[in-house]
Amino acid sequence: MKTLTHLLGLAALLSAGALAQTAPPTPRPIAPGEPPVTLTATRNEPTPLEFTADKLARLKVPAGFTLKVMATGLGNARMLHVMPDGGIYLSRRAQGDVWYLKDTDRDGQIGAAERRQVAQNMKLAHGLDVRDGKMYVVGEKTIWVMDIARDGGLSVPRVFADGFPDAGQHPARSLKWGPDGYLYASFGSTNNDAPTPNPEEATMLRISPDGKTREVFARGLRHTIGFGWHPLSGVLYGADQGSDWHGDNIPPEEINVIQRGKNYGWPFCYGDKQLDPYVNVGNIPGKITKAEYCAGTQGSVLNYTAHAAAIAMTYYTGTQFPAEYRNDAFIAYRGSWNRTEPSGYEIARVVFDAQNRPERIEPFITGFVYQDGDIWKQFGRVAGVATYTDGSLLFTDDQSGVLYRVLYTGGN
Amino acid sequence: MRLTSGRLNAGQRTLITAALLGGAALTGTGLAGGATQPVPAPASTPLKATAALRDTAGQVLGTATFEQQGPGVRVTVNVTGLKPGQHGMHVHEYGRCTPGVDAATNTVVAFGGAGGHFDPGMSRNHDDPQADNHAGHGGDLPMLTVGADGTGRATFTTAKVSLTGMTGVLNRSLVIHAQPDDYRSDPAGLSGARERCGIITRDSFSVRDYPLPGPQDFPEGVAVDAARGVAYTGSAASGTIYAVNLSSGAVSTFAEGGGQGRASALGLKVDAQGRVWAAGGASGTVSVLRPDGFPVAILNTPKSPNAYVNDLAPAPDGNVYVTDSSRPVIFRVTPDLKLSAWLDLSGTPIRYAPGINLNGIVATPDGRALLAVQLNTGDLWRIDLRTKAVRRVMGGLTRGDGLLLDGRTLYVVRNAEQVITKVTLNADWTAGQVVAEEPLNGLRFPTTLAAIGGDLIVAQGQLDKLQGGTPETPFKLTRFKKF
Ligand SMILES: [Cu+2]
């Protein structure tokens, strides 16, 4: 050990003059070794239960808030987009379609006559966003565009951009128009925790307004479905899902500041550039050490309980909730399946401080998962989240097809 | 651009004369005849080099000098403080006298950064100093004999290495080991620990290196935007394009690679609007990037498993001409950014053969012709822009990769040959003559070059290491005075 210390000291001495800038890691003739590590991983999928009204009492909301069910029987209800007139677009990934919901009679319910399928035959249709009277939807390998009719109907989908990577394990694609007029779309990794074959996997892509060209905006993002620009700071934040099967607490769920040309570390590094001990070092390009690789990546700005599985993220821009909520973010954590004590199964709030920096993540709506004797059970896998026109918060359960609405009633 | 097997002349033989001063006689001294390697064109200044030999604490305890003699090198070594007896002595691959990994034990050892023995013949075998470079490492030198006073001196000439070309040792290391060399055992003749190391540095020749930040950058193209004071360079491995500030050397990511059509970046050019053009290699594309790095257009050539879009040249007619190294066609991109096949080469004297064919391309400033080099045959071709007539300008430019035309002077980067060749062309671009050949201070599979006023800048691509071996980091661009 003494010798090694001496040699490394010498390395620093000799290289200092040779390289004005930080020297890149030195590729090795052979991959570096790492000590063995053992882990205990737990598969724990809480028993799924169909939503029934009697279970509502299990859900916990902060004081002053009320939870209502706006619709049931929606199928694989995933992402939401609310129009200024109160129309709600809903994507259903398993069904590959988009529905239009509108509470025309203003009774707080989406009745059978107030819902209709407006687009279909889009494989793994998921993320959706609207710009200049057109609806954009992303599925496995394709982004479609549709014209929006006055009655909320959509034209037959046209291909806007194509040739995206295979979905593999992470088929929840997402997209949003950025403040720069470019379309941002995230494409998760096909696998759990290894370098991907297609360099457009595990990335956020930035696509030209006409859909014809695109670039890799950021990489090393395993599955960042929820992302968006903070309404005041304009900073792009994204919620990334960490690898599975690395134990109860590794890696945590991340909130990242996503910047052009940066690498966010997956699969080798998590959180604040921590080295994931359960990923093979031999797969690192250039046969450099994990520590060298991670030093060249970007760390997260906030972490949350491992495996909670962030899906949608939205900033609260309404006025119904108390002022402290304004411009905070809500994230739907769909819930874990490989953690001893389940995580997620909740809507969480990302609290931003006075300087508009994310300060902490705290539970907002909980109670979907519970222990019944020795058995964990759950009756909701939350996915989409959006602010409704009246300033209430909408979210979906993709398991039973429920649309929930959270209202602030504390002032009355 | 890409690989070549880097083979030496089969008839090449080691030429060693050892004149040992203050030591016992060198065993196995001999003169092997038949060196057939042609004498290279002269460099801009005589090829001489020096290595200051340090111990593991960094103290200089000796010197080695190197002087080009025909195809070989005369080496003089003078070192103190060693144990009396014989010591293995070799040229190692990398110009780094730093600790580094010994692959056999996967541990860090003193002077391990110098890598293994320089092996230009890809012998993968340790042998004696008379062995042909195919049979043994080119860097296998005669042992150094150290006298009772701890001083070792030797002077010898060897044709196993040179200061230029494929066997060039500039910016590599001379290493003296603790033990004798058995001239047999892999990888280093059981010669033990590395006790002295010196980087072989060219005398009286200065260059400026711009190091790149990644361990896998493999820079292939280089283009200069003088107005912005940056050089762009693109990775053949990832397609990422960097912007390098030419005064500070600071490197930033201009455009991340890996997006559709951008899996690789080969030839680069900057146009009058400050847009960066990138040849997409096997992805078969030509990308046009805005000055902020976003792609304005990603143009596809016809889909093919053999696409090899290698280099491109803006011409005075406003079009950009594009070479493909495996498909015999020159593509053209018109100012409205439409790509089409411009010239089918099958009806011309240019015959595509296995390997890499047309590569570097330039347009003559009078707008009359394109000049393109065929890497595998070493032929330079003139293609008339009006009549499309094709004629051979000259041969002998094997492994010709990037081209730069400066008046009537054509600089040809020759990747596996590791030199930049200066050619003077006649007035109608129909004939040329080699006037000089520069290894600078050592080149590692250089690929392309660009001009910065009176200077040139070359990308040291190391693309030979894309398919195996370990590249030397940092990857770099190297700036030097026109010669
Ligand atoms: Cu050696």
Model confidence pLDDT, tens digit, residues A291-347 = 999 999 999 999 999 999 999 999 999 999 999 999 999 999 999 999 999 999 999
Report yes or no: B108 at the A interface, CB cutoff 8 Å.
yes
Partner A contacted by B113 (CB < 8 A): yes
Give pLDDT, residue B38: 54
Tell me the nearest-neighbour CA distance from A276 into chain B, angstroms: 20
Q: Complex ipTM, two decimals?
A: 0.90
DSSP-derived secondary structure letter, B9: P
Give A26 Cα–ligand 1 centroid separation in angstroms. Answer: 20
- Please provide the DSSP assignment of B390-445 as one string: EEEEE---TTEEEEEEETTEEEEEETTTTEEEEEEE-TTSS-EEEEEEE-TT--SS
* Residue B33 to residue A23: CA distance in whole angstroms: 44
Residue B143 Cα distances to A259, B10, B91, B188, angstroms = 55, 25, 12, 12
Q: How far is CA B286 from CA B297, B313, B360, in A?
A: 8, 12, 15
Q: Do B206 and B216 contact (CB within 8 A), yes or no?
A: no
Calpha distance A280→A286 (Å, rounded): 13
Chain A CB within 8 Å of residue B219 CB: no
Residue A412 is predicted with a pLDDT of: 59
Query: Are residues A200 and B298, on separate chains, in Cβ contact within 8 Å?
Result: no
CB pairs under 8 A between A and B: 126
Interface test with B, best of A2, A201, A213 (most B CBs within 10 A): A213
Chain A residues with beta carbon closer than 8 angstroms to that of B106 = 30, 32-33
Q: How would you write the pLDDT of chain B (483 residues) with one tens digit per residue?
A: 333 333 333 333 333 333 333 333 333 333 333 334 455 688 999 999 999 999 999 999 999 999 999 989 999 999 999 999 999 999 999 999 999 998 889 999 999 999 999 999 999 999 999 999 999 999 999 999 999 999 999 999 999 999 999 999 999 999 999 999 999 999 999 999 999 999 999 999 999 999 999 999 999 999 999 999 999 999 999 999 999 999 999 999 999 999 999 999 999 999 999 999 999 999 999 999 999 999 999 999 999 999 999 999 999 999 999 999 999 999 999 999 999 999 999 989 999 999 999 999 999 999 999 999 999 999 999 999 999 999 999 999 999 999 999 999 999 999 999 999 999 999 999 999 999 999 999 999 999 999 999 999 999 999 999 988 899 999 999 999 999
Element containing residue A80 per DSSP (H, E):
strand A77-82
B356: left (phi over 0), alpha (psi -120 to 50) or beta: beta
Q: Is the dihedral of CA A394, A143, A336, A327 positive or negative?
A: negative
- A283 CA to centre of ligand 1 in angstroms: 29
pLDDT of residue A22: 64
CB A361 within 8 A of CB A348: yes
- Which of B99, B239, B252 is opposite residue A11, by nearest beta carbon? B99
**Residue B37: DSSP 8-state:** P
Q: Is the dihedral of CA B471, B475, B477, B481 positive or negative?
A: negative
What number is the average pLDDT over the span A367-377? 96
Please state, as a whole number, how many other Cβ atoms lie within 10 Å of the Cβ of residue B353.
Answer: 9
User: And the tokens for A110?
Assistant: 């989406």
Residues of chain B contacting A288 with CB distance shorter than 8 Å:
215
For residue B119, the chain A residues in CB contact (below 8 A) are none
Alpha-carbon gap, residue B9 to A241, rounded angstroms: 56
pLDDT of the residue at B39: 55
Instruction: Report d(CA B88, CA A310) in Å as an integer.
Output: 61
Q: Cβ of B124 under 8 Å from any chain A Cβ? A: no
Q: Are B52 and B152 in contact (CB under 8 A)?
A: no
Q: What is the overall mean pLDDT for chain A?
A: 93
Place of tokens 């707080």: A108
Chain B CB within 8 Å of residue A208 CB = yes
Residue B469: what pLDDT? Answer: 87
- Could you list the beta-strand ranges (E) of B203-275: 208-211, 219-225, 230-235, 241-245, 251-255, 268-270
The CA distance from B380 to B357, in Å, is: 11
Q: Which chain B residues have a beta carbon less than 8 Å from that of A14?
A: 58, 97-98
Mark yes or no for CB contact A215/B256 under 8 Å: yes
pTM, 2 dp: 0.91
Asked whether the bond before B213 is cis by omega within 30 degrees of 0, the reply is: no
Which protein residues have a CB closer than 5 Å to ligand 1 (ion)? B 90, 175, 188
Rounded to the nearest 10 degrees, how much is the dihedral formed by the CA atoms of B50, B54, B60, B62?
A: -60
Task: Quickly count: other Cβ atoms within 10 Å of residue A1's Cβ.
Answer: 5
Element containing residue A312 per DSSP (H, E): strand A310-315
Tell me: cis bond preceding A171? Omega within 30 of 0 counts.
Answer: no
* Residue A211 pLDDT grade (very low, low, confident, very high; cuts 50, 70, 90): very high
Parallel, antiparallel, or unpaired: how do β-strands A203-207 and A214-219 relate? Answer: antiparallel
- The reported pLDDT for the residue numbered B468 is 84
> Position B43: which residue type?
A
